[in-house]
Structure 1
Amino acid sequence: MSRRSHGARPPGPHTNPQPGAPLPAPELTEGQCRRCGTHIAGLDGRYACGVCGWVNDHSEGHRRLPRADEDPDRPPAGRRRPRLLPGPQPGAEEPGNEPATGAGDEPGNEPGTGTRPGA
């Protein structure tokens, strides 16, 4: 059994010949969900069913997925993502927001009045 090298692969029919050239547009494909039979659409033979959640394997697509360095929206090398703006911490309550209590907060249910709405 021969080992497969993980180095550079020979160029296939859908490889990008120039690194700066735009990639070809994805092809809209249609098929049936293998789990529930719903008619579904996908890009380049990659599907996800919105009814039952079935997803086919990425290797079943019609062409290879682009590498990260081929992504036109990828930030330039050496540049980090921007920091998130400071905001409320998860689980922290904002000032001025009192938690709601029970049904005793309805108008006409003041403690000590002895009145009930609709009575």
Structure 2
Amino acid sequence: MSPHHRPHPHGPTGRPQDALRREPLPAPEITEAECRRCGTLIAGLDGRYACGVCGWVNDHSEGHRELPRAEDDPDRPRRRRAPAGRAPRARRGGPPPGE
């Protein structure tokens, strides 16, 4: 490597996600419990449940392990930038253009 060439801090392609790559996440564990509202036997992932009979859902914090972050998802779509010379589109529900 020449003295003038240093590795890019964000990885070989210059994208931050290259530097943040981690080991693959472990597969979720299928768990079972009784619905706290109606008593139906329900299955969930890592202690997170939703009952299809009565609609009860336990809080995400009751799970057996921390939820992965969006940045850890290898299939997460990247944000697109507006082409040069074009203004980004306004979000729905925002003020009308020119105000």
Q: Residue 75 of structure 1: CA displacement?
A: 2.1
Q: Which TM-score applies when normalising by structure 2?
A: 0.58
AA partner of residue 50 (structure 2): A
The structure with the largest alpha-carbon Rg is 1
* 1:79 lines up with 2:52 in the alignment: no
User: What is the rounded CA distance, in whole Å, between the counterparts of 2:31 and 2:77 in structure 1?
Assistant: 30
AA partner of residue 23 (structure 1): L
Extract unaligned runs of 5+ from structure 2: 1-19, 82-99
Who is 2:72 aligned against?
A: 70
Show structure 1 runs of 4+ deviating over 2 A.
none
Q: Residue 39 of structure 1: CA displacement?
A: 0.2
Aligned residues: 62
Extract unaligned runs of 5+ from structure 1: 1-17, 81-119
Q: Residue 21 of structure 1: CA displacement?
A: 1.8
SS at match of 1:46: coil
CA deviation string 1:52-99 (max 9, x = no partner): 0000000000000000100121124x436xxxxxxxxxxxxxxxxxxx
Who is 1:33 aligned against?
A: 35
User: Where does 1:1-119 land on structure 2 (aligned, <5 Å)?
Assistant: 19-76=21-78, 78-79=79-80
Q: Which TM-score applies when normalising by structure 1?
A: 0.48
